Structure 1
Amino acid sequence: MGSQAHNSDLTSPYGYTPTRSVAFVFLALFGISTAIHIGQAIKYRMWFLFLTVILCGAIELLGWSGRLWSTYNVLSQPAFSIEITGTIIAPTPLLAANFVILGRIIRRLGPEYSRLRPRLYTIIFTSSDVISLVVQALGGGVASGANSDSVATTGANIILAGIIIQLVIIVIYGILATEFYVRYTSAESRLTKESIDGAQSTPRAPLTRDIVIMCLALALSTSLLLIRAIYRVAELADGWLGPVMTNQVAFIVLDGVMVVIAMYTINLAHPGRLLKPEPADSDVRENTS
């Protein structure tokens, strides 16, 4: 999937001419997923999705629109600025949705198995995510308005700092989520043994099939965003016209495809369907959150 050769490739801010058909495909994919997410958010009355997953889709559409514009005028600085800023910051709100969803899973299964209280996942990680977003947006603004290579490099370094913050957030989030799952399953094994031995055990929320599917979806989505963040760190650390930045296939696969799959994963394994309120234990869980 290479780009067509043009005389302007050497002066293109991408280092190549973006492929037009690919831009159309990703605009369609992000448009469909975002539209479905809007419908699902309204159906299940999950309004936080508008500021997370749906916002991600909207920004991706903006970024890929800039990329499509570049296929018609590859030397357009506004088109490149829209593309680079949009595609860099777009996944940040999507990651915030994962934080909120994990908090709801922990509230359902048992906050006593988590190192953090459920609401703290939303407060701490989402706040850190917002800081990452602001830093990336600031860097994008500096880079897009650069009138010299030194200023452009400064912008890239600011963006890189924001991406590194995001990468650290994802890793810590993954560690805490894994620890919660291990502690929960270890307790489950202990309680099962106590029950078999005739000892009295405390009833607790079951790990239902729907919750398992939601956990697997979160793990997949987070892993995809981790891969994408690692790619972006390598890309920006390599420089604006380095071999990573100027590799169109790498961008398509390690950025575009990763975010598309992450968005459709939440479409298919939607928290509104898989984490329906359970009146029997909702009051107890809510009091511990």
Structure 2
Amino acid sequence: MGNVPTVDPPANCTIDACPVSTSFYDYRINLAANLAFLVLFSLLTFVYLAVWLAARHGHAYAVVMILGTISEIIGYAGRVWSYYDQWNETPYLIQIICLTIAPAFYSAGIYLCLAGIVRIFGEDNSRVRPLWYTYIFVPCDIIALILQAAGGALAATSIDGASDTSELNTGVDILLAGLSWQVFTLTCFLVLCADLALRIRRRCRKLGIAVALSQDPVSVGIRTTRRFQYFLGALSLATILILWRCAYRVAELNDGFSGPITYKQGLFIGFEGVLIVVAATLMVVAHPVVCMRGSFVGQSKAASEG
């Protein structure tokens, strides 16, 4: 995320008066890239909100996705602010916390989709009841979010040049635990999705589509559309991208806020910014409310009744 000074930087530092190594970053922030991410996530927020207002259902999905994009907006606004004053602690703390926790909201949105997918293919293809995917993975995501938020906040408030770095190290450890837990949860989710896909394929070969898959007219109508096929591909790719990003952040924080990966702005732009903006875009272009239609509504109703 940036270079954390071990001593206070010279007073009244500016980009012309002090080297960037004395700031909270070990590089000159790329203004164009951060402004681009700020604009893109603002547009995505508008699109998510527009779909939500037009559809008037899929509330949980809309809320978590919008919370994710808003966190990104605040985080990149902090980085843009830092461009004009890389020695200001406030925007540095803002971008640490907000950009770290934002993808956890997208993970929650992904987890909300699987129950509807199982219903469309048929519950007999799944090892567990559809809503158990939500009951298991969403709480796991909440744990990751809490750990990342608490660790990020503790680490951020400890970055003040104090000689005692115990709180900073504790915060980084908690943050790293949250990111590692998110990587583990996403990996388990992908394994279960792969298992579901294999079971569907094997049962179709053995029993035939008419027996292996749900023959409910609504499910058949959704399953046979090209839009639903695109949705499955987009959701899978978005999950992999978020997992990739989380793995990068684990590697980045493995040596705290001053590891060698931290100093490479290109990696941050590519593996934090680009991966997540692509994932968030995929998840709104292939929106489950549109691509799963009644099945996603049914999931929401079932969740409220169960």
The two structures have a TM-score, normalised by structure 1, of 0.89
Cα distance in 2 for partners of 1:178, 1:266 equals 19
Q: CA deviation at 1:17?
A: 2.5
SS at match of 1:240: helix
| TM alignment of 1:1-289, pairs within 5 A | 7-45=18-56, 46-146=58-158, 147=160, 148=162, 149-192=165-208, 201=211, 204-205=214-215, 206=220, 207-208=223-224, 209-277=226-294
Residues 150, 8 of structure 1: CA spacing in aligned structure 2 closer, same or farther, 3 A cutoff? farther
Q: CA deviation at 1:211?
A: 2.7
Which string of whole-angstrom CA distances, capped at 9 and with x for unpartnered residues, describes residues 1-33 of structure 1?
A: xxxx86331122222231112111110011111
SS at match of 2:114: helix
Q: Give every structure 1 segment of 4 or more consecutive aligned residues whose post-TM-superposition deviation is greater than 4 Å.
A: none
Cα distance in 2 for partners of 1:100, 1:56 equals 15
Cα distance in 1 for partners of 2:152, 2:213 equals 51
Q: CA deviation at 1:190?
A: 1.8
Q: CA deviation at 1:141?
A: 1.0
Deviates more, 1:201-210 or 1:128-137: 201-210
Structure 1 contact 142–151 (Cα < 8 Å) conserved? yes
Superposition CA RMSD, Å: 2.2
Structure 2 contact 242–276 (Cα < 8 Å) conserved? yes
Which string of whole-angstrom CA distances, capped at 9 and with x for unpartnered residues, describes residues 88-123 of structure 1?
A: 000101111111111111122112211222111111
1:104 partner letter? G
Structure 2 contact 52–59 (Cα < 8 Å) conserved? yes
1:38 partner letter? L
The two structures have a TM-score, normalised by structure 2, of 0.84
1:246 partner letter? Y
What does residue 198 of structure 1 align with? none
Which string of whole-angstrom CA distances, capped at 9 and with x for unpartnered residues, describes residues 144-163 of structure 1?
A: 11043332222111100000
Cα distance in 2 for partners of 1:157, 1:17 equals 27
Cα distance in 2 for partners of 1:192, 1:110 equals 13
1:192 partner letter? G
Cα distance in 2 for partners of 1:162, 1:271 equals 27
SS at match of 2:294: coil
Structure 1 contact 14–241 (Cα < 8 Å) conserved? no
Q: CA deviation at 1:217?
A: 1.1
What does residue 12 of structure 2 align with? none
